[in-house]
Chains A and B, each alone.
Chain A
Amino acid sequence: QSALTQPASVSGSPGQSITISCTGTSSDVGGYNYVSWYQQHPGKAPKLMIYEVSNRPSGVPDRFSGSKSGNTASLTISGLQAEDEADYYCSSYTSSSTVVFGGGTKLTVL
């Protein structure tokens, strides 16, 4: 299985909105509503931000939202804050009954 494709980096100013894409195939992202998004600050473990495409775990701000269209999932962060600067990873369940992660996206808050 190949890693899901994410942009290497995105940036935005405080208060703005940004979107990170995650492109897979019909065997993973496009085939299942089991896409997750993780936030990882330097030296820390990943934190689940979105599960099942668009659901937020308790405690995750509603500034974070997820969606999917075809083989591409997206994470949108609105009202960007300095603390949102981190690496973001998507993952998906696959037709092989496994999980695949994306290559990660570095978010810079200008």
Chain B
Amino acid sequence: QITLKESGPTLVKPTQTLTLTCTFSGFSLSTSGVGVGWIRQPPGKALEWLALIYWDDDKRYSPSLKSRLTITKDTSKNQVVLTMTNMDPVDTATYYCAHTSGGPSSGDFDYWGQGTLVTVSS
């Protein structure tokens, strides 16, 4: 079955760079149509789509955060990494990674990780 799990620091300081890793199983990121995305949710607030990487290394970013985000994949390790620079307290949120298989024009996420809470504070 498909599973995803996020890992990374739980606490980062303002201005630091956040690096999150999504380790998955049950699918291959070299299969046509498959992608892994990142979505975050500040405490008590709505979901916010951040980035998505597809099997063919096509990368998509939230326009409002594009300058701060980088998404990469390591197919051999079954991992997707998201980096976010210049972290600010408003970036405090639960960060989720999720699987999509609808191809590059769908964006529906059918499997999600459990999420990891990242707090930005000095």
On A, residues with C-beta under 8 Å from B are 1, 3, 32, 34, 36, 38, 40, 45-48, 51-52, 57, 89, 91-93, 96-104
Please state if B108 and A34 are interface contacts (CB–CB under 8 Å): yes
Q: Mark B57-101, 1 if CB is under 8 A from A, else 0.
A: 000111110000000000000000000000000000000100000
Bound complex: CA of A106 vs CA of B52, how far in Å? Answer: 27
Size of B's binding interface in residues, CB under 8 A: 25
Q: What's the minimum C-beta distance from A86 to chain B, rounded to whole angstroms?
A: 13
Which residue of chain A lies nearest to B51 when distances are taken between CB atoms in the complex?
A98
Q: Is the Cβ of A104 less than 8 Å from the Cβ of B47?
A: yes
How far apart sit A98 and B112, CA to CA, in the bound complex (Å)? 18
**Would you give the shortest CB distance from A39 to chain B, in whole angstroms?**
11
B60, B107, B113, B115 — most chain A CB neighbours (10 Å):
B107
- With a CB–CB cut-off of 8 A, which chain B residues contact A99? 37, 49, 52, 60, 107
By a beta-carbon cutoff of 8 Å, the part of chain B in contact with chain A is 37, 39, 46-49, 52, 60-64, 96, 102, 104-110, 112-115
A57 nearest CB neighbor, chain B only: B110
Residues of chain A contacted by B106 (CB below 8 angstroms): 34, 51-52, 93
Q: Are the CB atoms of B110 and A51 closer together than 8 Å?
A: yes
Distance A89 CA – B112 CA, assembled complex (angstroms): 14
Residue of A36, A47, A91, A99 ringed by the most chain B CB atoms within 10 A: A99
